[in-house]
């Protein structure tokens, strides 16, 4: 089976590299295209066949990932339509519906909302099947994207919400990690130690949230001793309405995803 990727920007290349690192795909099973030679150079070094010809990717591939910006998806679909019959087309473009893709191709369609954490096999993703996708297609995509993290099948109407939550979510956590790092530096830690402490704390908290069997309120209480240090820090976050700000960030990103679909 040949797996094609049209678009090798941050998301497309992180998927390719993640699949390779997880051994869920081999380099000789992949062909990738992009108009930017610079984006192809690193993949070529991994043994992946690369090209600037999107039609070539569509022609030789059994599965085609569309990993380009939402406003260019239509042009790509028109370009490759003649080669789409009998193929599985997987779109990772925010705001682009399976219906709109089915209308412009002859392919079976699955929509996936991943994030860039596929690069380290810690991706959070969801997928939705188009009307022509088969049970075999479902199992294939569930296995492939699941090899680099956690994935769920959802109703497509939830995809904008997922885009705002887990698609955009890594950037929110990077902001938190950066803030913790900089505070540590200002209080005397080295840049490297502060980063590693902040990042490991985020990673550990996430693992506790999904594996401890305790709800988030209980986990918070476990860290907060009466009249202790954590409570003082949380008071600042509550006063600054950080909790509400993060909720608003997810909603704003989800709204933008909805706007892209119109």
Could you read off the pLDDT of 169-185 as tens digits, one per residue?
Answer: 999 999 999 999 999 99
Q: Does domain 3-158 have CATH number 3.40.50.720?
A: yes
Joined tokens for residue 35: 């108009």
Could you read off the pLDDT of 64-111 as tens digits, one per residue?
Answer: 999 999 999 999 999 999 999 999 999 999 999 999 999 999 999 999
pLDDT band at 262 (very low <50, low <70, confident <90, very high): low
Per-domain residue ranges of the chain: 3-158, 169-260
Mean pLDDT of 191-210: 98
pLDDT(192) > 90: yes
One CATH from 3.30.420.130, 1.10.3730.10, 3.40.630.30, 3.40.50.360 for 169-260? 1.10.3730.10
- C-alpha distances (whole Å) from 155 to each of 85, 129, 130, 152 are 25, 8, 10, 10
So what's the pLDDT on residue 260? 83
- C-alpha distances (whole Å) from 112 to each of 121, 162, 254 are 16, 10, 15
Exposed e or buried b for every residue in 10-36, given b needs 16+ CB within 10 A? ebbbbbbbbbbbeebbeeebbbbbbee
Please provide the distance, in angstroms rounded to a whole number, between the alpha carbons at the two ends of the chain. 34
Mean pLDDT over each residue of the chain, to the nearest integer: 96
Are 3-158 and 169-260 the same fold in CATH?
A: no
pLDDT(258) > 70: yes
Name every residue whose Cβ is closer than 8 Å to that of residue 234 and which is 6 or more positions away in sequence: 220, 224
pLDDT band at 261 (very low <50, low <70, confident <90, very high): confident
pLDDT(59) > 90: yes
pTM exceeds 0.85, yes or no: yes
């Amino acid at each position: 089976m040949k797996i094609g990727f049209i678009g090798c920007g941050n998301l497309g290349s992180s998927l390719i590299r993640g699949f390779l690192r997880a051994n869920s795909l081999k380099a000789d099973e992949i062909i990738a295209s992009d108009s930017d030679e610079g984006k192809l150079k690193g993949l070529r070094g991994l043994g992946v066949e690369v090209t600037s010809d999107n039609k070539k990717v569509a022609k030789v591939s059994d599965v085609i990932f569309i990993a380009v910006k939402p406003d260019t998806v239509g042009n790509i679909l028109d370009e490759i339509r003649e080669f789409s019959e009998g193929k599985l087309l997987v779109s990772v473009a925010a705001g682009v519906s399976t219906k709109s893709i089915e209308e412009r191709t002859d392919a079976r369609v699955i929509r996936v909302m991943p994030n860039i954490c596929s690069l380290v096999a810690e991706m959070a993703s969801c997928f939705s099947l188009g009307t022509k996708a088969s049970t075999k297609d479902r199992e294939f995509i569930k296995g492939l994207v699941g090899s680099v993290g956690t994935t769920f099948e959802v109703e497509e109407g939830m995809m904008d919400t997922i885009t705002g939550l887990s698609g955009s979510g890594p950037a929110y956590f990077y902001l938190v990690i950066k803030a913790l790092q900089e505070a540590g530096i200002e209080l005397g830690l080295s840049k490297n130690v502060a980063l590693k402490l902040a990042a490991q704390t985020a990673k550990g908290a996430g693992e506790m949230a999904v594996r401890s069997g305790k709800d988030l309120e209980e986990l918070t209480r476990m860290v907060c001793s009466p009249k202790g240090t954590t409570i003082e820090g949380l008071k600042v976050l509550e006063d600054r309405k950080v909790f509400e700000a993060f909720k608003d960030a997810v909603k704003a990103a989800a709204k933008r995803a909805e706007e892209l679909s119109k």
